[in-house]
Every structure is written in structure tokens, then in C-alpha cells.
Structure 1
Amino acid sequence: MQAPALTQPQPTPRHPSPEAYLALEDAAEHRSEYINGVILPMAGSSTNHNRLSRNICNAIDTAFSNSDFEPFIADVKVWIPERRVYTYPDVMVVAGEPIYPEGRSDIITNPQVIIEVLSDSTQDYDRTDKFLLYRSLPSFQEYFLIDQTCIRVEQYVKTGLRQWSLREYVPEDQSIMFATVPLEIPLSTLYNKVQFA
């Protein structure tokens, strides 16, 4: 009796399709992003990063428990079809019902607000290229960048076609004010339990 042939592991294609990426990501132990044919592994996050993501998501969820706004946290991807990108925002807010690609419930295509917690390894990307990618989403109206090393928040709000305004929050501001959803979050709530070096 002949032994069954062993199957060799198949190499990952050099520039996998979005569908191939999703198949790989569904089976992967660690998350990665997909940017126009390139798969990039994601780094782990710090406890402060986790606290900030949790705090802002909890505040949004509590404020909008009986409304059409809903937050989603880091395990839900956003698909940016114009740029062929799958990425994981730290937190995003959807107005109304989430729009999913066919057959998926872990990918959203219509975030209105996206929130990223800055880290040393991603802050330049979050401020530049990633923001550029997000801006190609028609639903995207507001972007927050939260510093985890000090009390500092950057807020970008869409004010017109290819026009965005910037507001910075520091401790003296007391609260951050969302522009596209009816919400104010005290900085003390946002930074609750965050420990600075």
C-alpha cells in the first residue's frame, strides 16, 4: 500500500489578491493589513493603547446606546475599495447601519469617524499615508489621533471637498468635542487609568 503523498505548504503569492488576503487573515493567529497587494503584519499594542481605545469606545457606546451611532473596535476591518486596502482602525463610528461587503460581517465600508491611538511605530503613518487612505472613503468625516504619552488629541474634521480643519486638545481644554456626532468626552474619561512614564 502506497503512503499518501504529503502536501507541501503553498507559498503566499508575492502580491496576493484581496480575496487571498482575507483567506490568509481568517486563518492567521496575528493580524495584518492589506495595502494594494502587500500584506503588512501589525505590531502588538501597549496597555495604555488598550486603555485609550477601550475608554473612548465605552464613552461612545454609552452615549449612543439608544441612537443610530455605533462604535466598533480593533478587530473589525475597514475596506477602502478605491485604494484596495484592508486595515484595522483602533475605533470607528458608523452612523446608521454598517455596510458590509457581501458575505462578511467583520468588515465595514462606511465609517463616519475613525480614531487611532498613536504609538512610536505608527504615528507618522497614522498622520500621513493612513489618513490619506481613509480620506478616499465617502462616509469618512472626522479623524482623531490620541497620544498615549501625554494628554494630547488631534481632531481633523472634513469641512469641504478635499478640505480638513485641525483642532488640538491639551489638558486645559477639559473635553474633546466631536463635530459630526453629538458627543463630548472629558479628557479625564478618555485618559482614565492611563499611566505616563
Structure 2
Amino acid sequence: MTPQTLAKPISPEAYLAQEEQASDRHEYIQGVIKPMAGGTPTHHKLAFNTAITLKIALKKQAYEIFHADQRLWIPSQQIYTYPDVMVTGKPLVLQEGRKDTVLNACLIAEVLSPATKNYDRSEKFHYYRSIPEFQDYLLIEPEQLFVEHYHRQGPKQWSLTEYTAIDEVIHLVSIDCDLALADIYEDIEL
């Protein structure tokens, strides 16, 4: 039996060329391309509800709100990913030479799934924390009424608040916005 050979890392440029032709989305993690898992209807509804609620709350303010298909580049980690929901400040900061990849996420929300929840809570959160503008991280549980809110308190310091009641409201200090759990979980059967 011969040892299995490891695939040669792919350059960011090769990934972008492949991604432009792909019908499905893929993450790029330090030279490795990984397919992104498809979401359930509940997953999509939670992400959409969150994005719409943020869009309404931040209307006419200096923010952009993205849902699902907007690519984020984390240069210090060599990561391309597609957060479920992302808020950036204006002006939008794009990757040099690109019109489809943003850099300046200040808030990211991920809807958890059995396949990704450990990654979203650990390595992915670690990658996101290297973004200088990044201040708020929401992890939304689709199986129960439960949202984890991480907020940057200072360099290398984050606070966690857990929300479990439909009448609770998350205050996002970094963008001065309130996000009601009732709006996130609207029309979701638990």
C-alpha cells in the first residue's frame, strides 16, 4: 500500500478563475478549495430574514448588506468565503483588481448546520477575527430559538451573549442597530 499523496495547493488566482466558471460556490482556505454545503429552506429563510431586517434597520445609513452570494476575501488568512449575511461599511472596499470580492465586513451572520457548526464556531470565527473592521458575529441555530452574539470588546477580547426568547432584541453596538429574534425567526417552524 502506498501513502496517499496530498494535492498541491492552488493559488488564489486559479481558485478565482475556477469559481467564475463554477455553478456551485466554493470556499478557498489557504490553497484548498472546498465545496460549500447546500442549505435547507429553513437555513435560507433565516439568512434572508436576517438580511432583510438589517436592510430595513440600516436604510439610508452608510452600510451595505449582503446575503449568501457575496464573496469575502480575508487576505491575512488567505481565505475566500461566502458568509450567509454580511454587513460592510461604505465605501465598499473591494479586493484590488476585483469587482466581486469585498474586504471590509463589520458584521457577519452564519446560520448553523450540523455539517458546519463546529467550523463556524471555531476556525471560521478565528479567520473572521483577523478582519480589522469585524465587530459582530451572529450564529443562528435553525433547530431551536437560539442566537449567539459575539461582540469585539478590544484587541483579542470578545464578549458572548446568548439569546433564547422570541421577545429578545440583539443590540449591535458597532452599527447602532437592534435586531429582534422575532424578525430573525419569522415564519420559521421550530
Partner of 1:44: 38
Partner of 1:60: 54
Aligned with 1:132 (options 109, 126, 132): 126
Partner of 2:3: none
Residue 75, structure 1, aligned to residue 75, structure 2: no
Partner of 2:147: 153
Residue 16, structure 1, aligned to residue 16, structure 2: no
Q: Secondary structure at the match of 2:76?
A: helix
Aligned with 1:167 (options 148, 156, 161): 161
1:19-38 mapped onto 2 (5 Å cutoff)? 19-38=13-32
Shift of 1:179: 2.1
Q: Secondary structure at the match of 1:188?
A: helix
- State the one-letter code of the partner of 1:57: A
**RMSD of aligned alpha carbons:** 1.2
Q: Deviations over 1:68-115 (max 9, x none)?
A: 022111111110111100011001111221100123222110000011
Aligned with 2:105 (options 104, 111, 115): 111
As a proportion of its length, which structure holds more strand? 2
Shift of 1:172: 5.9
Q: Secondary structure at the match of 2:105?
A: coil
Q: Number of aligned pairs?
A: 184
**Compared CA separation, residues 16 and 163, structure 1 to 2 (3 A):** same
Identical-residue share of aligned pairs (%): 42
Aligned with 1:97 (options 84, 91, 94): 91
- Conservation of the 8 A alpha-carbon contact between 2:145 and 2:166: no
- State the one-letter code of the partner of 2:18: L
Aligned with 2:177 (options 176, 180, 183): 183
Shift of 1:175: 1.7
Q: Which moved more, 1:108-117 or 1:171-180?
A: 171-180
- State the one-letter code of the partner of 2:78: R
Under a length normalisation based on structure 1, what TM-score does the superposition of the two structures give? Answer: 0.90
Under a length normalisation based on structure 2, what TM-score does the superposition of the two structures give? Answer: 0.93
- State the one-letter code of the partner of 1:78: L
Q: Secondary structure at the match of 1:67?
A: coil
Instruction: Please give the alpha-carbon distance, in whole angstroms, between the structure 1 residues aligned to 2:104 and 2:68.
Output: 15
- State the one-letter code of the partner of 2:20: D
- State the one-letter code of the partner of 1:51: K
Q: Which moved more, 1:110-119 or 1:60-69?
A: 60-69
Displaced runs of 4+ in structure 1, greater than 3 A? none
